[in-house]
Amino acid sequence: MSQSEVGLATQAHQLHEQLLGLVRQAAFYSYQMGAILKKIRDEEAWKSLGYETFNSYFASPELGLKKTSVYRAIRLVEVFPQFEEVKDIPVSKLTTITPYLNETNKSELLLLAKSQSLGDLLHQLSEHQRQETEPKSLPLPKIYICNECKGIKGVTWDRLCHCGMTPNQIAFIGKAIDKFVFGSDEEEGVEEE
């Protein structure tokens, strides 16, 4: 590695660490905002500040907070009363799992939120919800764009619709795909002994 490549790699790691620190701070600040907003709402402190409603308080020009952001932050504090248990999970993932949480799946969903990308987490949650409403349904594939070639990934030949094809056509195409992907065990024209 050249000196400039080492310098770029070092800088990239430093920037990455700075970004991770900011993500953690964002989670902490969002949690703190939720705790303060919850207290102001629950104790009706907004009345002492001269506002007619809690909504008019947080929407004031001074704060300019959106209703969804306020109630997500409050819900975060209500669902996770101990910040320590969620401090390493980005707020976007916490707010994503919150509607699905119950006492039996809390640790499982926290583990998913820690270990998966937001896209994978959303796929898992929607699949879990679908399985609850349609228990005998087949799982949906996660379809996504390949980062390298920009083609579509996540669908196999077996899972594609074959309506209108004969069984021989399906078998022929399946074998051709297998041969292309996995190679042939036999050399063409050479019989095994």
Element (H, E) at 42: helix 3-42
Q: Which CA distances in Å does 97 have to 12, 91, 105, 109, 143?
A: 31, 10, 10, 7, 21
Residues 78-131 have pLDDT tens digits of: 999 999 889 889 999 999 998 888 888 888 999 999 998 898 888 888 877 777
CA distances from 139 to 74, 105, 112, 126 (A): 34, 20, 18, 10
pTM, 2 dp: 0.63
Sorting pLDDT into bands at 50, 70 and 90, what band is 189? very low
pLDDT tens, 24-56? 898 899 999 999 999 999 999 999 999 999 999
How many angstroms separate the CA atoms of 69 and 92, rounded? 11
Which residues, including other chains, have CB under 8 Å from residue 128's CB and lie 6 or more apart? 100
